[in-house]
Amino acid sequence: MNARHDAPFAAASFNPLLVPADALAASWLAETTLRLRRELAWVWQLGAARPADPLADSIDRLRHASARQRFFEEDTTARFLGEQIAAVRAQRTADEGSPWQRATQAAGLDEAAQFVLALALASRADAGFGAVAAACQADAQRPQATLALAQRLWDDPLALLVLADPAHALYRHALLRAPGPDAWQQALDLPAALAPLLLDAAAPLPEALRPLPAEPGVPLDSAVLGWLAALPPTALQVVPLVLPHGTDPRPVASALAHATGTPLAALAPDLGPEHAALPGLAAAAWLARCTLLAPEGWPAEALAAALAPLAALPLRLLVPVADAAALRGLPERWLAPAVHAPALPMAQRCERIAAALPGSLAPHALEMARRFRFNDRTLAQVTTTLGAMAQPSAAGAQAVCRAAAALDMGALAQPVQPRFALPELVLPPREQAQMLHICDAMRALARVHHEWGTARAWNEGGIAVLFCGPPGTGKTMAAEALATELELPMFRVDLSQVVNKYIGETEKNLRRIFDAAESADCLLFFDEADALFGKRTEVKDAHDRYANIEVSYLLERMERFKGLAVLATNRRKDIDEAFARRLRFIVEFPLPGPAERERLWRTMFPPAVVVDGVDFGFVAQRFEMAGGPIRSAVFNACLQAAAQGSKPQVAMTEVLVAVKRELEKSGRPTQREQFGPYAHLLPEHA
C-alpha cells in the first residue's frame, strides 16, 4: 500500500493512510470496508438487545432479519453506506495491468469469490480490521475474516457455499490456504507474501524470493528454449535443469529466463519443498510474472506431494537436478523438456586456473584443468583458495583441487590407500616397460587431447588397461603402484554392491560410479572384471537380453570415462572382445621365474627383520610360487618367529614351514625330499 490521498476509493481500509496503488484491489477493499461499517452500524443499533455470544447471535439472526433489512434501508448512516457500496461497484472497471485482475481472472473467480479474497486481504493488510470483525461476529476471540463473516456481509449468502470446497480455484491457485473440516469458522488465510503484490503491481518481491537478472551467457539448446518460449505455462510447469556437478544453477536459469522473456526469481536456499511458505511464495512469483528457480537438493520423492497444491498455478518452476530421471515420478502433464546445462569448457577452466596461479606455476594449469573438471561454482572456490595460498607450489595446488573434488561413491566403490610404488613391482622387462608407458600416457593426455586436438574424436576419454594373469601375480599391487606414481585417488569397485539381480539396477549402480568420478581424475579398479565385462551371448531369453544391455552400457560409459580404469582378471578369454578397442594397454602378469621369485622373497621382508640365515636362492629355485603366496608365506614366517622370540629375526626353519603350508593350501602335496639339504630343519609335525 502507498500513502495516496487522490485514490478513487478513500475508504479502502480503516486506516485512511493505507490506500492500495492497484485500483481494482482498492475497489474491492473499499466495498469490504463499507460492508463491515454498515454491519457494525447495525450491531451498534441493537445495543443492549444484541446477543452476548456467537451462539445466541446465530440463533437470533432470523428474528432480527427483517429489522436489519429495514435498518439498512431507513437509517441515514446505513443508507449512505449502502449507496457508497453501489457507487464503488458501479465505478469498478477492468485494468489489464492490475495484479488483482490477473489473479482473479486466471483463477476464474466470480464476484462472491473476489469478495472473500478481499476480506482475507483486508484481514492481512489492515491492523484495524480485527476489532471490527470481532464485533460483527459477536466474538472477541475471533478477530479474523471467516467464510461465516463473508456470508453475513454478502448480499447473496448462497453464492458462498462453493467456497467451502477445498478444491475451489481460490485454494488451487494458492491465493488462500485450503480450509479444513470447519471451513465456515476457520480463518481465511491469505499468504503474507501475496498481500503487497495484490495491492501494488510495483511492490517488491518477498524477501524469500530473490530477483535474479535475466541475461544471456550460458549456451542452451535452442530447440528446448523455443518450446518453452512458445508454450508459456497455463498450469504448473516443471522444467528440469540438468546440471553437471558443481554448476551454479543461477546463470543457467538466467539464460533461460532471458530466452523466454520473463523475469526470474529464486527461492531462498533454505526453503524445502515441504515448507509451509512455499505455496504463497509460488503464487507471489506467479503474480509478479516470474519464472521461479527452486533451491538445489530438493528430494525428488517429496516433490509430488509438495507441488500438488500448486498444480493449477500457471507457474514455470525450474528444478535443478543431476539427472532428469530424478523427476520422472512427477505427473507427466507437469513436466516440460529438460534443459541440459553444458559443462564448463576445458579452455575456460584452464584460463581461470592459470589466472589464479603465480606465473611460475602457470604451465601446470593445463594438466590441472584436465584432471579436475570443475564447473563454475566449484572452480570459483578453488581459484579463490589458490589465490590466497601463502607459498604456492604445484603439489599444494593439486592438493587444493583434490580436496575440492571430494569424490564419494558410497558403498559401490571403496577408497584404497595405495601402499606400493612402481620400483617395488617385480615384473619382466617388457611388462615393466608397459607400466611406465601407462604413466607416460596419462601424463600426456592433457596435451594430446587439448593441444593436439584428439579430444574431439575421443571425447576427452581417459585410459583403460587390462591386467590379466594367474592369481597372486601382482595385479592389485600394480594398480596401487600406478595410483601412487600418478598421484591419483584409487577406488576399488565392489562387485557385490554393483551387480544386482533386478533388471536395470546394475546399470544404475554403474552410472552412479561413473558420474561420481566425472568431476576429477581417479583410478577405478575393477577386480574380477570378467564378472562385469564378460562376453555378450546369443539372446535365448530375457535374462540374456538384459545381461547384454548391461555390457553394452558399460562399454559406452567406459568410452566416456576420463580417468584411469584398471580391469584385473584371471580369465582373459572371458572378457568381451568389444572391450579390446577401448583398452589402451593389456599387461600380462606371468608367474615369476627364479630370478623374480628371489627378488620377491628378499623385498617382501620388512627392512627391520633380520634374515641373514635364509637361503633365498634355494627357496626361489626349488618352489614355484607367485607373488601372492610368497607374500603370505613371508607374513606367516614372521608370525612364527615373533611367537618364539622377541627379536625381529626370521630363520630358515620358519620360512620352510611357511612355504610347506602355503603349498598345501593350494592343493600341492609336499614331501620332505623337496626341501633338499634343509629338510632336517622341518619340525616333525610341520
CB burial class (10 A; 0-12, 13-18, 19+) of residue 153?
Answer: buried
Q: Do 473 and 508 have their domain in common?
A: yes
pLDDT at 74: 92
Cell reading at 305: 506431494
Q: Do 433 and 582 have their domain in common?
A: yes
pLDDT at 538: 44
pLDDT at 6: 42
Q: Do 112 and 231 have their domain in common?
A: no
Evaluate whether residue 407 is within a structural domain.
no
The single residue listed with the C-alpha cell 610368497 is 630
How many percent of the chain have pLDDT more than 70?
93
CATH, residue 544: 3.40.50.300
Contacts of 505 (CB under 8 A, 6+ apart): none
Mind listing the pLDDT tens digit for each residue in 248-261? 999 999 999 999 99
Q: How many helices (H) and strands (E) does the chain have?
A: 28, 12
Q: Which residues of the chain have pLDDT under 50?
A: 1-10, 536-546
Q: What whole-number distance in Å separates Cα of residue 603 and Cα of residue 619?
A: 14
Last residue of a domain, one of 588, 618, 633: 588
pLDDT at 537: 44
Q: Do 522 and 660 have their domain in common?
A: no
Last residue of a domain, one of 538, 553, 588: 588
Q: Do 62 and 192 have their domain in common?
A: yes
Q: State the sign of the Cα–Cα–Cα–Cα dihedral 386, 390, 394, 400.
A: negative
Q: Do 424 and 547 have their domain in common?
A: yes
Evaluate whether residue 410 is within a structural domain.
no
Last residue of a domain, one of 140, 170, 198: 198
The count of domains in the chain is 5
Q: Cα 532–538–544 angle (5° rounding)?
A: 50
pLDDT at 5: 37
pLDDT at 100: 94
CATH, residue 619: 1.10.8.60
Q: Do 193 and 208 have their domain in common?
A: no
Q: Do 165 and 279 have their domain in common?
A: no
Q: Do 611 and 570 have their domain in common?
A: no
Evaluate whether residue 250 is within a structural domain.
yes
Domain hosting 60: range is: 23-198
Q: Do 180 and 209 have their domain in common?
A: no
Q: Do 502 and 617 have their domain in common?
A: no
Do residues 5 and 19 lie in contact, with contact meaning Cβ atoms separated by under 8 Å?
yes
Greatest Cα pair distance, the chain, in angstroms, is 133
Q: What whole-number distance in Å separates Cα of residue 262 and Cα of residue 665?
A: 74
pLDDT at 471: 87
pLDDT at 240: 95
Phi, psi of 461 (to 5 degrees): -60, 155
Q: Do 282 and 330 have their domain in common?
A: yes
